[in-house]
Chains A and B, each alone.
Chain A
Amino acid sequence: MNDRHTPERGRIRIVGFDDDDNRSDNDANGDYDTDGATPTGSSAGPTTTAETETMGASTLLQPGRRLENAWRQFRRNRSAMAGLTVIVGMAVLAVFARPIAISTTEVTITLQPFSLAPSDPSATFVGPANAPPSLAHPFGTDWAGRDQFSRVLVGGRYTLSIGLVAVALALCVGVPLGAIAGYFGGWIDEAIMRVVDVLYAFPLLVLAIAIVPILEPVPILGSGYWTVVVALAVTGWIGYARLLRGEVLSIREREYVTAARALGVPDRTIIRRHVVPNAIAPVVVQATLNVGTVVLTAAALGFLGLGLEPGSAEWGAMLAQGRSSLLRGDWHITVFPGLAIFLFVLAINLVGDGINDALEPDQDGGDDRRRMR
């Protein structure tokens, strides 16, 4: 957006002892100059020593306050809020598309009784085959006469959950490894980062494609959903590990880490309580943007016939028939699932940019390299 000069996170700042008149600039916002009203240059952030101490203490002791500030910042970002609305809307549609029930041999517990989708996504010949959009079938029907509208709604379940679960799994691997590599350094760091370098030599989709035949025969994964999730998590953690390691390298030199070490706090606690919380912001931005990348890759796998079983209502897999149906002139089979992927990934990118502006206002526009991986 514009030039916002913000001090580094968590670092105590002692400048401008003399001018007391615009002290109000930095009370409510903690260490964020949220509206850029502070004049840029040397006079930014006038603070007395006393205030510096309370400010520093409050940012260290109350992580909740920082989140609150970030949320306030985020809420003012119109495009990010629009993105969030789209994501929430799509999630609601996916959840309420068809009833969700857990059934055993004796009882069936209905968790969610609503059904927004007019027909079962796998029911064939609910209408004529390859019918263009009509009132009865707003998105038309596919080659087997299945209702495209229902399939797009239910397909959101696959796409949204694959994106979330794969990124969450990758974070569970990447964050600890990145923190350990950065904090301890030495041979541990070398070993972890060389593994990261090796995996970085392979493009995301190529690596996922190569992993699928190895994972498919694993009994608990089976062909389909979990294979795709694990393949994307295995390829996804390296980005978080590398990013977090870089942040941790600078944070482990901070005074509060030295102080904690001097007090005899165990390394595990220092990493968990002090290092990771202060280093995590760029990883959160990256993870958000990555949900988009993961969704695109999962859809590409489905499109190539390597993801979920052909015929399942996943948006990418629905497009797998797209080429032959397009050549026949049936445009509707391709347009709607693709539009759904596009909308979701666009919304994720808007939200990612918004989180970036809220958490790291000094990074103008975010680091677009993150969008590549």
Chain B
Amino acid sequence: MSMSLGRYVGRRLAITVPVLVGVTALTFSFVHLLPGDTVDALVGFRDVSPATEVAIRTEYHLDQPVWNQYLLWVRDVATLEFGESPVTGRDVTTTIGSRLPATLALGGAAWLLALAIGIPAGIVTAVKAGEPADELGRIAALAGIATPNFWLGLILLFVFSVRLGWFRVIPPDAPLASVATAKFLVLPTITLGTAATALVMRLLRSSMRRELDAPYVATARAKGLPERTVILKHVLRNALLPVVTVAGLQLAFLVDGAVVVEGIFSWPGMGRLLVRSILRRDYPLIQAIVLLIGVTIVLANLLVDIVYAILDPRIRY
């Protein structure tokens, strides 16, 4: 208990370092695990002149021992130097940079939706546990989790865009921060946010059920606080913490969703870029995207744990 916050953060950082090494090593070995010569993978299995091959061997340091290759690769990656895509000839970093805002906008909107619906629904189902409202919430949550997001997206697209004509089928040719784009994002956000909403709701419900049994709740009620204050001020504040700790998992969940949903709505984000690069065998681009996702999730987990430790002083291990 006497462990300070600083020491906890230090220990947590120390665990993160080997994980980051593992994540980079795994992503690095991806191109090397592919069958055949690594040069073939890097040029997309096309015939290239011997001069180009030599150039690529030098650029990716393939003439060096694997350990050196890895270290040199990490050095390049740390400065966001991913090289050129052999398929499109465009700089990988620039390509990702141009796609990233679209994905962040969609993922952020879906996450906000999940919190905006999941938190109130979680409170209601926890307070009314065992009543019809709770049972209804349980069924809705299970249905939300069981619905394949690509199927939901296709159905929404068919009903609201094709039949009713309320939304465009493909994104408008407008900047990201515009009314037209925001309106277009409604359907993709619902598609991506549905399962996340269900999960937030169920997580909050179970953590609130645990908190409601705690002695401090009885104390708060005994001293005559209105039930509303007890729930919203005391129980909710404590019950939200376990929901926050899964933010890293939620992020992974949203990334998986984006991979599918962006394709359905022709949304120019990272998920669609990843699928396209797989289908085109654009390995340097795949490698860069997968690394970006992995590192983001590791850092998100680190951040969540530190924030959690600041919010809850009991957490020092």
Contacts and interface: CB of A to CB of B under 8 A. Distances in A.
Contact of A203 (B23, B203, B210, B256): B256
Contact of B19 (A197, A209, A304, A343): A197
A209 B294 CA distance: 14
A209 B275 contact: yes
Interface residues of B, number: 58
A335 B158 CA distance: 11
A364 B211 CA distance: 12
A244 interface: no
B202 A365 contact: yes
Contact of A304 (B162, B213, B275, B293): B275
Interface stretch (A116-124, A128-136, A175-183, A210-218): A210-218
A231 interface: no
Contacts of A195: 22
A297 B255 CA distance: 13
Contact of B148 (A213, A299, A326, A348): A299
Given A204-B252, A300-B150, A342-B147, A365 B206 contact: yes
A327 B162 CA distance: 7
Given A304-B263, A304-B275, A372-B246, A206 B26 contact: no
A118 B196 CA distance: 39
Interface range on chain A: under 10, 10 to 19, 20 to 34, or 35 or more? 35 or more
Contacts of B209: 364-365
Interface stretch (B29-37, B71-79, B178-186): B29-37
Contacts, number: 162
Question: By CB atoms of chain A within 10 A, which of B33, B142, B148, B213 has the most?
Answer: B148
A217 B286 CA distance: 18
A184 interface: no
A292 B147 CA distance: 10
Contacts of B203: 368-369
Given A334-B151, A372-B246, A372-B249, A206 B263 contact: no
Given A338-B155, A372-B250, A303 B290 contact: no
Given A338-B148, A349-B146, A369 B246 contact: yes
Interface string B248-292: 011011011001100110000000001100110100001000100
B143 A346 contact: yes
B293 A364 contact: no
Contacts of A371: 145, 199, 202
Given A195-B22, A206-B255, A364-B209, 10 more contacts: A197-B15, A214-B33, A297-B256, A300-B259, A300-B260, A319-B150, A322-B151, A334-B151, A341-B148, A371-B145
23 contacts: A197-B15, A202-B252, A202-B293, A203-B252, A203-B255, A205-B256, A206-B256, A210-B278, A213-B281, A217-B35, A297-B256, A306-B278, A319-B150, A322-B154, A326-B162, A334-B151, A334-B154, A334-B158, A345-B146, A349-B146, A365-B206, A367-B206, A372-B250
The 7 closest A-B pairs by CB, nearest first: A338-B151, A198-B22, A346-B146, A368-B202, A345-B146, A203-B252, A205-B256
